[in-house]
Structure 1
Amino acid sequence: MLLTVIIVVATGDLSKGVIAGVIISSLLFVAKASSVKINKEITDSKIIFQINGPLFFASLDTFMDHFDFSVANKEIILDFSQTTVWDESAAAVIDKILLKYRDNDNTVDCHGLNTSSKKLMKKLSIS
């Protein structure tokens, strides 16, 4: 808000201040919305990932950092009950995670996908 006022005063043009405000608000929203938290529960035969936060293009780098693909012969559960898969790039990353775990002889299940996330995953033939 302060930057918007400074731009309006410096330029004498309200439209430039409004444009700057919209751009700043958009960047702050993306930064806040891209926060994904993952709680991991490990037992002898199972690893459960509880995913919290929206999954879309801006959150994918931090999302991938939470997974260790070196484990083998485990049951991997990805719990999506606290998230939404917003776009195809997020669905593609989920597919990549599923394939990497399955390559090491793990069984992988996705639980708790909401209706829109299920539709997107089905559209892209991801299971």
Structure 2
Amino acid sequence: MMEMEKVIIVEGRSDKKKIANLIKEPVEIVCTNGTISSSKMDEFVDKLYDKEVYILVDADEAGEKLRRQFKREFPHAEHLYIDRTYREVATAPVQHLASVLLGADIDVYAEFLK
């Protein structure tokens, strides 16, 4: 049986770059670049319906809004949360992000977990 493809949805390119460096397994990282129009959301739904979807967005108003949108469209997606004190995925410490990803069974490089 083929492993289900994992997809992590993040907000921006800096988020994507940051977590891409931590992940050891093949995971597609998709940027929303902020809020999503319904046509863009439909595109996501069509493209990702058979994949294992993870949502990793900033712990701020915009991130929460996005998260609510994804909860409606992807009820089966797994939501990953960074500690509110870091506010943004891009500025969260790599150790924190690595442990959040690991908690979702996403394989990360061990050196980031120290």
Q: TM-score, normalised by structure 2?
A: 0.37
Query: Which has the higher Rg, Structure 1 or Structure 2?
Result: 1
